[in-house]
Amino acid sequence: MNGKAVTLEHIKKTYRVGASRKRRAAVEDLSLEVGYGGIFGLLGPNGAGKTTTLKVLLGLVFPDSGSGTLLGTALGDRQAHKRLGFLPEQPYFYGFLTAEKGLALYGQFFGIDEGILQKKSADLIEMVGLPHDSHLTLDKYSKGMLQRFGIAQALLNDPELVVLDEPSSGLDPVGQKEVRDILLQLKDDGKTIFLSSHQLSEVENICDSVSIVSAGRSVLEGKLSELLTVEGLTRIVLSGEDARAREGLSFARSVEQADGFTTVEVSSGDTYRALEASRALGMELVSAQPYHRSLEDLFLETVKETSS
């Protein structure tokens, strides 16, 4: 598919706060692009403007300035919403409806034929693990069950783009794993997933690309694999610990020994030299690969840099 699923250009959004009604920026200058297919993660600390960004995208709040597109149409065009699924953060639903009736209500907005809707609802309820609770009214649901129902209603129209605000919020580890599997399955089905999260492990595990926002600005954006790779560094893991290693590998950037392994970080140009030195020390090679930092390191580094 050509074009971008989502584009936002220089979005600014302020709110009036306090008794003085002074304007405070929730989003200062945010731009991002999300292509079709794959999982995109919008990362940022609390108050960075993630939820406001999603609301701008969905036409729930109106930016002071800036523009954007959603599934090829200008922001605010309701036609795009026919091809969109949305799960808000900590979702609430009409408590007097059962899961089945809730899905029947939301399904009507997409004009889904009643027979198809019933079948689709049953499948989704099964998929999110609520088949035994579908007769209960939603006010009887736990936080995790509501989250699951929220995912089901977001997928009701078989959307091209699924926007999820903190999808694993309130879920136990098993539930988080299940959500992760659902998102990966959706990705395999060719959907575009746009999720906002501050659960870095979740994002690192499933996202193809990310944008980090801090203080209402987009500060880093790109493919996750590229962002996490540190150019020009190789990490070599050797079996065994040897006191002579620090001396023999003195040209290395770092040498750490723990739990029977020696981890060496060297400039990529020194990789073969390090391998020969370690062989001379009688240490077996376990792995040698381009150095990747963790998303947590990248995130903290980026947020710290921008806030300072």
Give the nearer residue to other proteins in terms of CB position, either 52 or 134.
Answer: 52
Give the nearer residue to other proteins in terms of CB position, either 75 or 295.
Answer: 75
- Point out which span in 56-64, 122-130, 215-223, 285-293 binds other proteins (CB under 8 A): 56-64
Query: Should residue 275 be labelled a site residue for other proteins when binding is judged by CB under 8 A?
Result: no
258 burial (CB, 10 Å; 0-12 / 13-18 / 19+) is exposed
Lookup: tokens for 137: 């009214």
CA distances from 47 to 190, 293, 306 (A): 31, 25, 14
Query: Should residue 251 be labelled a site residue for other proteins when binding is judged by CB under 8 A?
Result: no
Shortest gap between Cβ of 283 and other proteins (angstroms)? 57
Question: Which residues, 12 to 31, sit near other proteins by CB under 8 A?
Answer: 15
Shortest gap between Cβ of 288 and other proteins (angstroms)? 48
Separation CA 98–CA 245 (nearest Å): 65
Query: Should residue 105 be labelled a site residue for other proteins when binding is judged by CB under 8 A?
Result: yes
Shortest gap between Cβ of 144 and other proteins (angstroms)? 17
Per CB under 8 A, the list member of 4, 50, 81, 148 interacting with other proteins is 81
Per CB under 8 A, the list member of 93, 141, 194, 299 interacting with other proteins is 93
Question: Which residues, 127 to 166, sit near other proteins by CB under 8 A?
Answer: 150, 153, 163
Per CB under 8 A, the list member of 92, 142, 244, 293 interacting with other proteins is 92
Query: Should residue 96 be labelled a site residue for other proteins when binding is judged by CB under 8 A?
Result: yes
Lookup: tokens for 286: 């376990």
Per CB under 8 A, the list member of 22, 23, 24, 82 interacting with other proteins is 82
Query: Should residue 61 be labelled a site residue for other proteins when binding is judged by CB under 8 A?
Result: yes
Shortest gap between Cβ of 17 and other proteins (angstroms)? 13
Query: Total residues contacting other proteins (rule CB under 8 A)?
Result: 30
Per CB under 8 A, the list member of 60, 74, 116, 300 interacting with other proteins is 60
Chain residues binding other proteins by CB under 8 A are 15, 55, 58-62, 78-79, 81-82, 84, 86, 88, 90-94, 96-97, 105-106, 108-111, 150, 153, 163
